[in-house]
Chains A and B, each alone.
Chain A
Amino acid sequence: MTIQSQFLLGLKAAAPFILVLTPFGLLFGVVATEAGLTLAQTMGFSILMVAGAAQFVALQLSAENAPTLIVLATALAVNLRLVMYSAALAPLVGKASLWQRLLIAYSLTDQSFALTVDAAERQPRPLPHLVAFYAGTSVPTVGLWYVFTLVGAVAGSSIPPAFALDFALPITFLAMLAPMLRTMAHVAACLTSVVGALALAFMPYGTGLLVAALLAMIVGARVEMWQAGRAA
């Protein structure tokens, strides 16, 4: 196996995600433009953050004129899972050179993380091969994210209101969320989040959401421990 063939394996593994990334990137471009962002600002989000859900969150809260601190805290909370990915990838590629680790970190997404950990578990391989595989998964992911954000931003303003684009965002979030409901603990966290956010909606500046999210994380962790205890 050569480095090149590992890169190609990564590309192949990432191919199905094109179907998801394309509409999602387009949608971000469209929604950002509709919200009044310039082309440079819209691309700035996709190039500097490279984070689908958190970009939508930041955009939504900014459009609602939430205070900057709340926008930052909520969007970074959505991205906290990236710390977990970083922790899980470190034992696998932590010995790579600094510039490789910087690039790996920049392009770390749900897709690349899941595919690379899965590949390493199924078939352990030398470090340069794993880095090449990772690059194969992340280059198309990040590249398509830029390209389709741009297409959406350029096409965006020509979409009429009858398309109810206001609801594209909730639908996208719910569609991302549903496949994550794999265990009782995930379902319990999800329900806590919904009930908590609705019950605390009276709290100012979206702080109710942060409280609800924290409660939901604790409930998820508790249910997981409780189930592990029962299974043991």
Chain B
Amino acid sequence: MDGIWAIILILGAGTFLLRFSFLGFGGARQFPDWALRLLRYTPVAVLPGLVAPMVIWPAATGGETDPARLAAALVTVAVGFWTRNVLWGILGGAGVLYTLLWLL
């Protein structure tokens, strides 16, 4: 892939700066409450939107909605939600995906 090293280096530096930001100030700066409140929701704001099109219109089926992949996604969320455990979610989703791909 062209330009992948530039992406790796910039993301490496950028991610480090995000991590170092407040540690760099040594505790001398505080965040305003409203900013902390917005940042709290970054993972749940970015990840679902990123995944949704891949679940509804998977590239592997040429964009056609696929029952096996859709069911696997729903089961992953349900298992992950109830067990509060990432690994069980992955195993549940993968189990449903492989079972349905094999059956259908």
Binding site for B on A (CB under 8 A): 19-20, 23-24, 35-37, 41, 44-45, 48-51, 53-54, 57-58, 60, 62-63, 68, 71-72, 74-87, 89-95, 101-102, 104-106, 108, 164, 166-181, 185-186, 189-194, 196-198, 201, 209, 212-221, 224-225
B81 smallest CB distance to A (angstroms): 4
- B103 located at the interface, meaning its Cβ lies under 8 Å from any Cβ of chain A in the complex: no
Q: Is the CB of A179 within 8 A of B58?
A: no
* Complex contact B49–A86 (CB within 8 A): no
Closest chain-A Cβ to B63's Cβ sits at a distance in Å of 11
How would you classify the secondary structure of chain A's contact residues: helix, strand, loop or mixed?
helix
Assuming the contacts A48-B8, A51-B15, A83-B18, asked whether A178 and B76 have C-beta atoms less than 8 A apart, the reply is yes
Interface centre among B9, B60, B79, B94 (most CB of A within 10 A): B94
Chain B: interface secondary structure?
helix
A85 near B19: Cβ-Cβ < 8 Å:
yes
Residues of A within 8 A of B4 (CB): 37, 41, 62
| Closest-CB distance, A178 to chain B (whole angstroms) | 3
Q: Check B67 for interface membership: any CB of A closer than 8 A.
A: no
**Other contacts beyond A45-B8, A175-B79: 13, CB < 8 A:** A19-B87, A50-B15, A54-B15, A78-B43, A84-B39, A86-B18, A95-B27, A102-B20, A171-B89, A173-B47, A179-B85, A190-B48, A214-B45
Q: Knowing A167-B58, A171-B94, A177-B77, say if A76 contacts B21 (CB, 8 Å).
A: no
Are B23 and A86 within 8 A (Cβ)? yes
- Which listed residue (A45, A48, A78, A171) contacts B46, Cβ 8 A? A78
Nearest CB in chain B to that of A216: its residue: B45
Partner of B49, one of A53, A83, A196: A196
Contact of B81 among A44, A79, A95, A181 (CB under 8 A): A181
Which residues of chain B are near A197, meaning CB under 8 Å? 48-50, 52-53
Interface residues, chain B, CB within 8 Å of chain A?
1, 3-16, 18-31, 34, 36-56, 58-60, 69, 72-73, 76-81, 83-90, 93-94, 97-98, 101
The residue of chain A having its C-beta at the shortest distance from the C-beta of B66 within the complex is A167
Number of A-B contacts (CB under 8 A): 282
Roughly how many angstroms separate A106 CA and B19 CA in the complex, as a whole number? 7
Which of A37, A53, A176 is within 8 Å of B1, CB to CB?
A: A37
Asked if B7 and A58 make an inter-chain contact with CB atoms under 8 angstroms apart, the answer reads yes
| CB atoms of A49 and B11 under 8 A apart | yes
A186/B10 in contact, CB under 8 A: no
